[in-house]
Amino acid sequence: MTPKSGNTKSHDSWTGDPAQLLRVGAGFRLAEVDPGATPGYAGGRKGAELDLAAGAARLGELQERLFAQSRSDATADSVLLVLQAMDTAGKGGIVRHVIGAVDPQGVALTAFKKPTPEELAHDFLWRVERRLPASGFIGVFDRSHYEDVLIGRVRALAPPEEIERRYGAIADFERRVADAGTRIVKVMLHISADEQKARLMERLDRPDKHWKYNPGDVDERELWPQYMAAYQTVFERTSTLDAPWHVVPADAKWYARLAVQALLLQALEAIDPQWPAATFDVAAERARLAAT
């Protein structure tokens, strides 16, 4: 399950490997990441549009192979994209524009909300386990078990020793999931506080966006430094070889979409799924069919 290094061949305007450039490694400091940057990409907004379309075609083909492979091998690999971010950072746009280009039949999307009473009566990973992608699927988590160490920590929704326990539990859980054949791609979309302010203001300015606005968003915004500290801790405790974190600058939506697509493409290229061989006698079936 060691990720192969590789470059996304279909993307001509990348000047560096996004997986390497965006990966959270030793000594990583979130505070040093510029949310307005576009690391490793030289094509600009126009180039990104073309590269996103080319990447979508490639992603579609790889997804179909991944799915096909799983039809005759129930232990075949799967992919899990975990999306975390502050409000308005663009998780929805990733789902719509990157995941939306893939055949819906091969995608398993879960938007995790505030836990229900039933979910709270179980360990925090219980509801997550149930939503893991089956063999051959691309799973997408819009929010995830990381909420339990982000808002969970900032809002003290559990005792400190319970929050502390969770980091190790997550690392163990993700190691098992990876060992069982799921390639995990963890992404934090990183926007600046100023950009969030502008995006929230736009939601207030447009009646067709009012439904996306929640007064609670401003309450959370006032805890920005605490959230950034909680993310820093998440990165230090849970960016593992099995499931590394990537911090994707997201003030430029076009960059964030292209970068997440590139990370997904690399995960699929590392799996390198193949069309499965026929499990029947092709000539015999052709004769049977011809006779009908």
Q: What residues make contact with its own copies under the rule CB under 8 A?
A: 68-69, 71-72, 92, 95-96, 99-100, 103-105, 107, 109, 111, 140, 142, 197, 200-201, 204, 207-208, 210-213, 215, 218, 221-222, 275-278, 280, 282, 285-286, 288-290, 292
- Please name the residue that has the structure tokens 């590392």: 270
CB of 60 to its own copies, least distance (A): 9
- Give how far the C-alpha of residue 143 lies from the chain's centroid of Cα atoms, to the nearest Å: 9
Cβ-based nearer residue to its own copies, 12 or 285: 285
**Using H for helix, E for strand and C for coil, what is the string for 51-101?**
HHHHHHHHHHHHHHHHHHHHHHCCCCCEEEEEEEECCCCCHHHHHHHCHHH
CB of 156 to its own copies, least distance (A): 22
Cα 203 to Cα 210: distance, rounded to the nearest angstrom: 6
Question: Beta-carbon neighbour count of residue 256 at 10 Å?
Answer: 28
Cα 51 to Cα 155: distance, rounded to the nearest angstrom: 40
CB of 162 to its own copies, least distance (A): 30
Cβ-based nearer residue to its own copies, 18 or 93: 93
CB of 252 to its own copies, least distance (A): 21
CB of 152 to its own copies, least distance (A): 23
The tokens describing 91, both together, are: 């998780």
Cβ-based nearer residue to its own copies, 130 or 210: 210
Cβ-based nearer residue to its own copies, 181 or 276: 276
CB of 224 to its own copies, least distance (A): 9
Cβ-based nearer residue to its own copies, 22 or 102: 102
Residue 103 to residues 57, 60, 95, 259, 281, Cα–Cα distance (Å): 11, 7, 13, 20, 29
Largest distance between two CA atoms of the chain: 72
Report helix, strand or coil for 185: strand
Cβ-based nearer residue to its own copies, 26 or 277: 277
CB of 66 to its own copies, least distance (A): 11
Cβ-based nearer residue to its own copies, 120 or 201: 201
State the amino acid at position 163 in one-letter form: I
- Please name the residue that has the structure tokens 């980091």: 167
Torsion of the alpha carbons at 168, 174, 178 and 181, rounded to the nearest 10: 140
